[in-house]
Structure 1
């Protein structure tokens, strides 16, 4: 797979395109990601913020403080509630795309796990991946290990 990547909300009201390669892909097991995904973890795929283009519709936005104490803007569909992007205030050059909203997800392969200390007890954390008990201070290792096949 190569850019551009397309995706959209569950209801089809909003469509987007990513015009650059993702920087990495990981699973986050923090309590907020568990709540927003209604599952055991959330997926995040950081991309350059200026590479994300909304092709159709307009997402709503709200802000929250993450488990690490940092502010995050969350973009979602007002119609169906699907979460699509997280824009961290600490890094205005990155958008964290929720990769399950991509049209083609067959190539996704996460390289790590964040907030493993909050993981559900039944989730098996692969020790061959890059794993952090909480929020890493930097993501260099996650970026270096990521490859699109």
Structure 2
């Protein structure tokens, strides 16, 4: 079986919005925090972190909605204005000041989400007790040190973003 190649297409439930990711994400998080549980209505969220300029809306338009967040700064949800499915979010308080330039693609909105299983599980201190994490995937009770977990390629991509926004890379 061959690995899928970019671009990776996705969209909402009603078909009004279609998008493409131009490359693989930098990392995929399985986030078990209570905020993600509440916002997704599921036991955890699976988010593919990718540069905003590598995500292109190919059909329709998104409605951006600012929601409260634990940081107090807020989180911006990009949703289909018709069916209200969240396609991605921007965590405005993202570590390192990258909140505007990194999108957290909701993996379940990809046409083929299967290749994008979590590279890391975060905020496992609040995971549902019946969720069993795979033993070969790093898991952290809270967050992690980026340079200890991200691949060399992803760190290089992140460094480019940090340079663009004028913040130090991790």
When the two structures are superposed, what TM-score results if normalisation uses the length of structure 2?
0.76
Give the equivalent residue in structure 1 for 2:124: 116
Distance 1:106 1:24 in 2: 14
Give the equivalent residue in structure 1 for 2:20: 17
Deviation at 1:125, TM superposition (A): 2.5
- SS of corresponding position for 2:61: coil
The structure showing larger relative contact order (alpha-carbon pairs under 8 Å, at least 6 residues apart) is 1
- SS of corresponding position for 1:124: coil
- Greater fraction of residues in strand: 1
Distance 1:129 1:30 in 2: 17
Give the unaligned 5+ runs of structure 2: 154-170
Deviation at 1:70, TM superposition (A): 4.9
Deviation at 1:131, TM superposition (A): 1.4
- Matched residue pairs, number? 146
Contact kept in structure 1, 2:77 and 2:89, CA below 8 Å: yes
Give the equivalent residue in structure 2 for 1:88: 91
1:29 corresponds to 2:32: yes
Indicate the RMSD between aligned Cα atoms, in angstroms. 2.2
* Cα shift readout 1:74-95 (whole Å, capped 9, x = no counterpart): 1111221211111122313211
Q: Structure 1's 120 and 97: CA in aligned 2 closer, same or farther, altered over 3 A? A: same
Give the equivalent residue in structure 2 for 1:55: 58
- Runs of 4+ aligned residues of structure 1 deviating over 4 Å after TM superposition are none
Deviation at 1:145, TM superposition (A): 8.9
